[in-house]
Chain A
Amino acid sequence: MKRIYSKTKSTIVKVAVLSLPLVTLLSSCGDDFLSYPSETSIPEDRAFETPERILSQVNGLYGSAKNGALFGGRYLIYNDIRGEEFRNRTSNVVTGYSSYQFTNDPSDTYIANFWSQGYLTINRINKFLADFDNYPDAVSDELEAQYRAEAKFIRGLTYYALVQLFAKPYTLDNGQSRGLPLRLQPETNSANNELAASSVADVYAQILQDLNDAEAGLPATQGSNNTTRAHKNTAIALKTRVYLAMGRHGDVITEANKIVSASAPFSSPNNVAHVLSADVMALYTQYNTLENIFSFPMADTNAPGTQNQLGYYYNVGNIEYYLNQSAPGIYADREAWPESDARRSLTEVYSDAWHILTKWSGDSPYDDWVPIIRYAEVLLNLAEAEAEVGDQGRAIALLEAVRHRSDPDYEFAGLTSREAILTAIATERRIELLGEGFRIPDLQRRLEPIVSVGAGASIEPSDDRYVYPIPTAEILTNPALVN
């Protein structure tokens, strides 16, 4: 009996000891034990929860375009380093050496990143526009219209950038050549990889539609954010660039006239009163003068990221590219661009060998704002259109307005023919917009060869290197693109 008792007792003790951990075990593992949503990202179903968060999404669309791989640096860089104005110092493939030499190929990951970031921005916009339909009363109708317009403005700007780099100029054949896949629906799953490229003309049509929609929905002013967020004049100004690229000079004049007065001194009669800044330096130090129609802002906490920063490329940051001191570089042309020109003070003799562009002068982390649209460009766009199809006197006046801001005593000689005026305007663009991403598109829309210092050759429009190839990653996943 005692034995049985002791055996039972022993079993009871054992079971008691055993049950301690088991009870805890059963209570600790519910369904929640396996559920850990992210604590550092916002879930999709809560992205429209507050008006502030919707505004954050709009900021995110701008931020996406601002990425260093896209407008935060590379768009400008790729459109300048392939021409005759700069020479490469570092022979580093990461910072565009292949583009400079015209040896880049479809597998170039940095050019592919440009493509990806462009389309990522576009998809984010497409998704934003579609998702917004599900939250009809999240903000006022007016604000919703404005946000949609801002999104479309960025989409137009991004498609414009992509079509410059990856498709033949519109002017070659009125846009009949292969353009881009025109993605307008949100993509959130694995469907729809294949989409054929639309023609260049279709892409331009979409850009114009986006910009027209944007103009309608954008506010007349964004107040203190006029430079960093789009308002009506921003969309109009971009349209002058797009029409110019299409060779539709009449439309350039129509659009430009909305924001350029009939005669000097030129300023915008509507909405934000854009005007040339008296001080050319202020454009790159104050960033938000009335001339800076649209720029991407930077800050210490929001820098462009390594090997994308303009100051790193052109200024003492790393002098990836320095000014070409020989003809045909514009810097070497002291007749067209005399020493008396204030814009010469945006360059610097770093050493005998390296004369550099110092428009972006901030130190690390290089948070100089990136100028995307300036009033000076609009004036030159208009001047070119007037010279082509309109009032040559006004063309000269616009040209002189830009020149005399920096070099008041300069006198243009021989502006007696349309060709001479156009040549002077082209030269002026090279000086005024140096380093701001215009050289290659300016050559391409005029179907001129790219005079490449890096390749030691002129790249003709018929050369397949004239524009970037579609990246390998796209071709492999979207074979329909080229069919």
Chain B
Amino acid sequence: MKQKLLCFFMLGILLIGSAYAQDRRISGRVTAEDDGSPIAGVSVLAVGANIAAQTDNLGTFTIDIPASVTSLEFRYLGYVSQTVTLGSSNNITVVLATDATALSEVVVTGYGTQRRTEFTGAAATVSGSKIADRPVQSFSQGLTGQAAGVNIIQPNGLLNNPPVIRVRGLSSISLSSFPLIVVDGIPISTGDVSSNAATNNPLSDINPADIESIDILKDAASASIYGSRAAAGVLVITTKRGSQGRPRVTYDGWVGVTNAVRLPEVLNAEQYIAYKNAAIDNAFEVNPNFTGAPRNAFVATQDANGNLVDVDWQNDVVYRTAVSQNHNLTFSGGSEKTVYYFSAGITDQDGFLRANNFKRRSARFNIDHQATNWLKLSANINYTNNQNNAPNSGSYSGGAFASSGLGRIAMAQAPNVPVYNENGDYNTEANSIGRGANLVAMQWSNPQVLIDLDKNYSETNRLFANMAAELNLADGLTFKTSYTWDLRNTENHRFWNPINGDGRATNGHAFNQQVRSDNWNWINTLQYQKSFAGVHNLNIVLGSDVQRTRTAGWGGQRQDLGDPFFNQYQGSFLTNTAGGNSINDLAFEAYLGSVSYNYANKYFVSGNFRRDGNSALSANNRWGNFGGASLGWTISEEEFFKSGSIANTVSNFRVRASWGRTGNGNLNSYYGAYNLFGTGIYGSVPSISYSQAGNNELKWETSQQTNVGLDLGFFNNRLSLEANWFNKDIDNMILEVPQAPSKGIPGNSILLNVGAMYNRGFEFAVNAVPIQKGDFTWSTNLNFATLKNEVTALVGDGNPILGYTSSLELSSYTQVGYSAAQIYGVRTAGVNPENGRRIFIDNQGRQVQYQHLGGANSYTLVENGTPVPTSSVTGAAVPLGNTIPTWYGGFNNNLSYRNWDLALNFTFSGGNYIYNGTRAGLLDQRVWNNSTEALNAWTPTNTNTDIPRAIYSDNVSNGSAFLIESNVEKGDFLRLQTATLGYRLPQSVFGASGINSLRLYVQANNLFLITGYTGVDPEISSNGNSNIASGIERNSIPQGRAFTFGVSLGF
């Protein structure tokens, strides 16, 4: 809509005074390159004459021109302008390519919009159409590779698992580094709102098809208008609104299939039996007192027909080919005074993990009405219901070691035991799968039971409602008030069956929780915008913003099923306790102002200021001051430049710089300033105990960022380059400062304002239309960013911050002089070819070999066999590599030929290391199944290998007991994120059917991946959004590959 408004404005200017003799009538149609849809409102200009026309809703135009005119120029905001030389035909078809810079023409900054030509900060704009048709659950997943400096990691293939988004690197250590998400003016909560294994990303409450644009404010000068919470960047989501013109109706739908890719190859039954029995023999050879298993404990199990039981747990039981579908219907239109937009959407997506499903039903209605010439009223209402179902995948944040996590069980379950017994019952023994003919008990539960009988469910009902008024008080002076209400009700259900898995010990378990989040904000702004003498352009905004959020949860846990008939919370249980109770209040209050001025669109200066209060900080330090300033110079607007010959080549040349100070208010606890006593029960009497050491000095964490940018346009902006250098210094970091556990501070940490860190880097975005010839157009966007993160100060004289995977495995290390979240483990030096033992580097730099079951000789020096104390190895962890990518980006191509269009979006990232913890499990020598890699283990005849000799029960040599260097791998990759091929049916087909346009397309997601990483996917985060334990893969399910077929229909 914003594009249209500007467009009309421009057209008005162009149409002034047109009176020419018309000799020839040209008509035709203008369509968009990326999806072939007609473009309404395109300016059609007769080159060399002062004549113009505009396309209608069908994209058609008619223009009468004098004979002297030989070419037409087509201009539309957000698209690359095109000049077409007229031939003999009076009917032409024009395909316009999207101008990615420009998507661009308008930047939605805080509390207003700004034309990109006047914008002197750093922001990226992603059009909603880029993500609308992707088979994703939330828009956030579709942003990968779309904007320079924005790195997005989808943790794994679990549906609606919140992605990790980093704008210009890590913004904090203990607070969230997730950017602030503002939807139509209101900041909304992020994270995972589920309390069970079915992840529920609240950003999925917004139907991606309803999004007009996403503006990512990266530099502090533009973000600081959101002062208090902008340190991690801001994503400003603008939803679609109606536009003037006849009613437009569109239907978009797709259906698709998804499969798991890059599953690890594991041993089959025969290999498993032979391998494990050999490992037992080795164990006895090392230690005759070995008691872990008798010799030949692994035995082939036969089914009723005498066939060998050989189960491929991954492909036969846990994963599947999943089918998904999505439908959206929109109606929009309006008169001069009133425009409206209505949409309804439904999506039903199955995950490749069995029993994983996501559904969303949503409706949105908005209306803008010009009540009088000085009063405009708007209202918007959006209701969404989303439902998430999942078994325990072990792939949500904090779930990596879940004993019922299917990601791990699918790999580690023994292949030689059946799913069902002969009588059709589930094969179980105690809490594990039945052992079949094996002589030792199995460890993992039967995944079929978990998939069939356990239930994790999270449902959100969410209402967004907004009313706004805009008053034109005087010439250039506008007052705007906007109240938004965001009410979220989330219900989390969990049921664990009494047969196998997490619910067996409690004979069945149900946990239901209801969370209600009532979030509102009210923004008032007064804006003065005026041009003086045609060259002095002034824009002043003053405003206030208050926001209040109360989130209250309550629920109950029930255990010990009264009758196995029940599988719901409402059934019969013998034990009932409360669970999932919480009340959290948060309030922000802010006053803001911004001024921007430019002289003749050549010299730009702007500044903004915001004073912010945050209830989560201590009473004395609640208020903080934030602000920023920026300068810009558009050299190409200078006369000397315009008159030079360079102007023929360089169409835009601008330099800009900004500086600003923002804050991070994403506190995990809203009560960190208080000393508190928590409540409990001792037996049957009430108790309270010291539960929080507060910090009554807690103040804002601030970030200062400098940005220097350059914009270049060549050949009438057919080729454009945007480059930025940024330096983001974060200080007064609010750190959960680790306290010596012996101090007995609850949680062993106190929130303190200490520490500092920086992120520096370059960002480049190149947009080009390399080929535009007749019916063929190729437009491309390459974005590339570099990032250097370094922690420069922490508490005291360098106590590191340790990170744990799922609170269990010490995996990460954050220390001064390094980038945050280094992999932290013990160095290794391969395997001793003499005896097959793993060689570690101990804390004195010596090579120490490990002999499992070796008693007092477990750890010995390689050189002379002298025993060394265990702690010299286990205490020898060192930083093993950075986990934050140092370069990343996207390469997006759109090609069109006649009615065909092809889009290829590549993403790439690298410079980081990943801890492939899954590999540690795949080489674990307990009863677990192993990867085929284990077949290369050391034997007296296979001595040149890096896989240690297999000794049954060994959980040390391969990294299950503590992190080891041999599982650290490089994370560089190139992925074909999406490939889309579309065909738009010719107009002639529709006749009088009333159909306006019809496009069919096929899309492939994650079609290929080039990487040296051997885990399931280099885009991984088993620890979710964690700042201090990133880059760890541990037992996650893989990513999927999806193929979809879609239809876009316009009436």
Contact = CB atoms under 8 A, between A and B. Distances in A.
Interface of A: 10-11, 14-15, 17-18, 21-22, 25, 28-29, 33-44, 47, 53, 56-57, 59-64, 66, 87, 89-94, 97-98, 101, 103-107, 109, 112, 115-116, 119-124, 126-127, 180-181, 183, 187-190, 192-195, 228, 296-303, 306, 312, 316-319, 326, 353, 363-366, 453-460, 463-465, 469, 471-478, 481
Contacts of B770: none
B745 A123 contact: yes
Interface stretch (B114-122, B311-319, B583-591, B994-1002): B583-591
A39 B743 contact: no
Nearest to B799: A477
Interface of B: 287, 289-291, 374-375, 401, 403, 430-432, 441, 443, 469, 471, 473-474, 479, 481, 504-507, 522, 524, 544, 546, 548, 559-560, 575-578, 581-583, 585-587, 589, 613-615, 619, 622, 670-671, 674-693, 695, 737-746, 748, 750, 752, 795-796, 799-800, 802, 804, 807-810, 852-856, 858, 869-871, 874-875, 877, 926-927, 953, 955-956, 960-962
B742 A105 contact: no
B680 A63 contact: yes
Contacts of B688: 42, 47, 53, 56-57, 59-60
Nearest to B442: A90
B683 A363 contact: no
23 contacts: A14-B471, A38-B671, A39-B585, A41-B671, A42-B677, A56-B687, A60-B680, A63-B689, A98-B961, A105-B962, A107-B809, A109-B809, A123-B744, A181-B742, A183-B742, A364-B505, A465-B870, A472-B877, A473-B802, A474-B740, A474-B741, A477-B799, A478-B740
A300 B692 contact: no
Contacts of A34: 587, 589, 613-615, 622
A91 B924 CA distance: 11
A187 B744 contact: yes
A351 to B, nearest CB: 9
A36 B585 contact: yes
B960 to A, nearest CB: 7
A292 to B, nearest CB: 13
Closest 7 CB pairs of A and B: A123-B744, A105-B874, A297-B683, A457-B855, A60-B689, A59-B687, A364-B506
A471 B871 CA distance: 11
B877 to A, nearest CB: 7
A148 to B, nearest CB: 16
B742 A38 contact: no
Given A103-B961, A112-B741, A28 B546 contact: yes
A44 B741 contact: no
A456 B674 contact: no
Given A183-B742, A192-B743, A456-B290, A469 B875 contact: yes
Contacts of A317: 505
Given A181-B740, A302-B684, 18 more contacts: A29-B546, A34-B589, A38-B583, A40-B581, A42-B677, A57-B689, A64-B689, A93-B960, A115-B742, A183-B744, A193-B796, A194-B740, A228-B682, A296-B683, A297-B684, A302-B680, A476-B738, A477-B741
B547 to A, nearest CB: 10
A319 B430 contact: yes
A301 B681 contact: yes
Contacts of A42: 676-679, 688
Contact of B685 (A29, A59, A192, A194): A59
A195 B524 CA distance: 55
Nearest to A194: B740
Contacts of B739: 187, 190, 193, 477
Given A18-B473, A183-B744, A190-B750, A43 B675 contact: yes
B471 A18 contact: yes
A61 B858 CA distance: 41
Nearest to B809: A109
Contacts of B471: 14, 17-18
Nearest to A124: B690
Contact of B507 (A41, A104, A364): A364
Nearest to A64: B689
Contacts of A193: 739-740, 743, 796, 799
Contacts, number: 317
Given A28-B546, A40-B581, A90-B443, A107 B615 contact: no
Contacts of B746: 120
A458 B431 CA distance: 31
Contact of B682 (A297, A318, A456, A475): A297
Given A33-B546, A460-B856, A353 B441 contact: yes
B956 A103 contact: yes
A124 B677 CA distance: 10
Given A25-B544, A122-B744, A455-B853, A91 B615 contact: no
Q: Which of B432, B689, B745, B855 has the largest number of chain A CB atoms within 10 A?
A: B689
A364 B560 contact: yes
Contact of B737 (A93, A107, A190, A464): A190
A91 B927 contact: yes
A475 B799 CA distance: 10
A54 to B, nearest CB: 10
Given A34-B613, A473-B802, A302 B679 contact: no
B560 A36 contact: no
B559 A63 contact: no
Contacts of B615: 33-36
Contacts of A66: 682
A90 B432 CA distance: 9
Given A56-B687, A188-B675, A456-B855, A124 B744 contact: yes
Contacts of B956: 103
B158 to A, nearest CB: 22
A352 B745 CA distance: 47
Nearest to A60: B689
Contacts of A10: 374
A469 B473 CA distance: 74
Given A116-B741, A365-B559, A36 B587 contact: yes
Contacts of A11: 473-474
B700 to A, nearest CB: 13
B690 A38 contact: no
Contact of A109 (B403, B752, B807, B852): B807
A459 B856 CA distance: 7
Contacts of B622: 34
Contact of A93 (B374, B795, B856, B955): B955
A353 B291 CA distance: 13
A233 B384 CA distance: 64
A193 B693 CA distance: 14
Given A43-B675, A56-B687, A107 B962 contact: yes
A109 B808 contact: yes
Given A22-B524, A463-B856, A41 B691 contact: yes
B441 A89 contact: yes
Contacts of B695: 189
Nearest to B375: A17
A302 B681 contact: yes
Nearest to B806: A109
Contacts of A35: 615, 619
A457 B856 contact: yes
A380 B163 CA distance: 60
Contact of A120 (B614, B682, B744): B744
Given A35-B615, A312-B505, A318-B431, A453 B875 contact: no
A43 B696 CA distance: 13
B443 A478 contact: no
B292 to A, nearest CB: 8
A107 B810 contact: yes
A455 B855 contact: yes
Nearest to B483: A21
Nearest to B697: A189
Q: Which of B471, B692, B742 has the largest number of chain A CB atoms within 10 A?
A: B742
Nearest to B522: A25
